[in-house]
Amino acid sequence: MKLVQKTIPLALVLALLSVTFGTNAALPLAVGDEALPSLAPMVKQVSPAVVNIAVKGSVASQHQNNPFMNDPFFRRFFDQAPRQPQRRETMSAGSGVIVDAANGYILTNHHVVEDADEIMITLFDDRELPATVVGSDAGSDVAVIQVNAKKLSQIPYADSDQLEVGDFVVAIGNPFGFSHTVTSGIISGLGRYGLNANNYENFVQTDAAINPGNSGGALLNLRGELVGINTAIISRSGGNVGIGFAIPINMARTVMDQILEFGEVRRGLLGVNIRTVDADIADALDLPVDFGALVDQIVPDSAADKAGLKIEDVVVAVDGDRVRNAVELKNAIGLKTAGKVVNLEFYRDGKIQKVTAKLGSQAESLQVAQGTLHPGLDGAAFSDLPENTVTSGASGVLVTDVDVSSNAAVNGLRAGDIITRVNRVRISNLKEFGEVAATQDTLMMTVLRNDGTMRMLRIG
């Protein structure tokens, strides 16, 4: 179970979770010959398609026996000592949902199977089967694994865009190792985000009990249709307090389709830095709306630049779907395939306008730096600063993208950062940045963040 401390007094626990269900259904007056309402017939129907997942793996643990290595102050005194990388064995458990019985495809969470050396699943009929990872995506926390077996069951999909707060849902999973545990509740909220700013988030919130071990399990409506994949809880103790989250199945299917087609997710890239429009921004820019995503940076030669977007444009729709904030624009673009042409609606000078943009590739952008600079920067993409930023007096290199599972992310880089100095050398463009970053073992970088703060990052 992963624990992420938030600024609020609660903790976010990425748990190995169960499923939640949601639809516009009311409790039935009768089920079969039973005079009283019961979920038992539906549970019997879907349970064979929910699996328990046991994962054996290993993770790098370079300084696992030295607690001082966790402190940056003390760590610098050990940097010259020979490093002997070690591996630490791990065991974890989670849940999964069979969505394609003919091909043996199972949906689960990325965090359930990451670092897996061996995956075993247990079916409802107690069969134990080895599984392989077809593909996994850290950004959405979705993974697809596969088993080779006959007589499998699958769960049909619902349309998660039709969910409403108050719909009844059911979760099935493997909490604390208790196989095929069933809990029930309602949809408590929709479109939740902010659990991990670097990920693609559009969570369904539920009060159906979800606990460690439920991750990757099914969230179902009362018709036995899959509406989500359980992934996280908020809790002080690590156990259920009635606030759980699931990835909407429409979002999970989009990721799965790319994994099955390409073996990976090929995300589209618009090439903008954005922020959410609120009432203050709307008033300052004299906007006719108080929602949308404000463009405050444009990467040269990006899809946005070629489409004619400008600084201070406010994007309010993608392919006809409303964009209420920066997170929704990030999701709308990041869940589309590179090369796809999208229709954008935006406000400029108080008037609505429309353009089409052919999305670039995040993968291609990330490869710009891969292997050519310091290894601690792998997974980040850089560009020269946009002209408007340079003319305002800023100088440096813009971080355009950061892969959430990369070395760059671990070392603290974020998309939108401006690197102004490296090892006390002021830099003004990519050429100068590359000359320093590719030749030094340790980089001390001064970074200007979007919120106006300056940070010092140590790489290496």
Same domain for 36 and 124? yes
Whether 77 maps to a domain, the answer reads no
- Together in a domain, 91 and 115: yes
Of 135, 161, 133, 165, the residue nearest 147 (C-alpha): 133
To which H or E segment does residue 282 belong? helix 279-284
**Of 231, 246, 263, which marks where a domain is finished?**
263
pTM of the model: 0.71
Block mean pLDDT (10 aa), the chain, length 460: 38 37 49 72 94 84 50 50 59 92 96 90 94 92 94 95 95 90 95 78 92 92 96 78 92 94 88 86 87 86 90 93 90 89 92 92 55 75 64 69 78 86 83 78 84 80
The per-residue b/e assignment along 338-347, b for 16 or more CB within 10 angstroms, e otherwise, is beeebebbbb
Q: How high is the pLDDT of residue 59?
A: 67
- Residue 80 CA: distances (Å) to CA of 63, 328, 442: 13, 45, 11
* Shared-domain flag, residues 231 and 141: yes
Say which CATH number the domain at 275 has. Answer: 2.30.42.10
What is the rounded CA–CA span in Å between residue 245 and residue 233?
6
Handedness of CA 426, 431, 435, 438 (dihedral sign): positive
Q: Which residue has the tokens 């954005």?
A: 274
Both 58 and 135 in one domain: the answer is yes
Tell me the C-alpha to C-alpha distance, in Å, between residue 197 and each of 6, 14, 305, 331: 11, 14, 25, 12
% the chain with pLDDT above 70: 81
Domain finish residue from 307, 339, 362: 362
> Which pLDDT does position 363 carry in this prediction?
63
Nearest to 254 by CA among 317, 170, 161: 161
Contacts of 2 (CB under 8 A, 6+ apart): 13, 14, 15, 111
Confidence (pLDDT) at 43: 94
Q: Which residues contact 197 (CB under 8 A, 6 or more apart)?
A: none
Q: Are residue 94 and residue 38 in the same domain, yes or no?
A: yes
| Cα separation of the two ends of the chain | 28
Identify whether the C-beta of residue 15 lies closer than 8 Å to the C-beta of residue 233.
Answer: yes
pLDDT at 378: 81
> How many alpha carbons fall within 13 Å on the CB side of residue 66?
17
293-323 pLDDT per residue, tens? 998 878 778 899 899 999 889 999 999 999 9
Asked if 332 and 454 sit in the same domain, the reply is: no
In-domain check, residue 42: yes
CATH number at residue 89: 2.40.10.120
**Same domain assignment for residues 354 and 426:** no
Query: Is residue 72 assigned to a domain?
Result: no
The parent domain of residue 427 ranges over: 372-459
Q: Give the pLDDT score at 155.
A: 96
Structurally, the chain folds into a number of domains equal to 3
Residues whose CB is less than 8 angstroms from the CB of residue 185 and which lie 6 or more positions away in sequence, other chains included:
20, 168, 169, 171, 206, 207, 208, 209, 242
147 and 283 inside one domain: no
Which two three-digit tokens encode residue 154? Answer: 């699958």
Active-site positions? 111, 141, 215
Using the 3D structure, point to which of 263, 283, 312 is the last residue of a domain.
Answer: 263
Q: Quick one: pLDDT at residue 146?
A: 96
Residue 29 has a pLDDT of: 59
Question: In this predicted structure, what is the pLDDT of residue 127?
Answer: 94
